[in-house]
Amino acid sequence: SQQGEEDPQALSIQEGENATMNCSYKTSINNLQWYRQNSGRGLVHLILIRSNEREKHSGRLRVTLDTSKKSSSLLITASRAADTASYFCATDGGRDMRFGAGTRLTVKP
């Protein structure tokens, strides 16, 4: 399956700390995307990284991609309570996207 798997399943940190979430996948991909979901709501796209890119930044987000290890990481710097949400990686093997079960991030004020 080309479905991504996030690690850890849950992460709890203090406001101001950095949060790192990882995603592993099994097959070759064209791109990998990260999404965020607030409780009981729809997913919101955060960032897309293509298979020929190694790192990408967007505000306080930093995404890395290592295609040799079939893994990606999402770093949120200087976290805020409003960052509390579930974070999903989605892998694209060309036909459609597959999502993992997500990492539940809790940022304590």
Partner 1 sequence: ETGVTQTPRHLVMGMTNKKSLKCEQHLGHNAMYWYKQSAKKPLELMFVYSLEERVENNSVPSRFSPECPNSSHLFLHLHTLQPEDSALYLCASSQGGGTGGSDTQYFGPGTRLTVL
What are the residues binding partner 1 (CB under 8 A)?
A: 3, 30-31, 33, 35, 40-45, 48, 88, 90, 92-102
Backbone angles phi, psi at 82, to 5 degrees: -70, -10
93: helix, strand or coil: coil
Measured from the CB atom, the residue of 44 and 81 that comes closer to partner 1 is 44
Residue partners of 41: CB distance under 8 A and separation at least 6: none
Measured from the CB atom, the residue of 7 and 15 that comes closer to partner 1 is 7
Measured from the CB atom, the residue of 33 and 72 that comes closer to partner 1 is 33
Supply the minimum distance, in Å, between the C-beta of residue 11 and partner 1: 15
Structure tokens given for 16: 């101001």
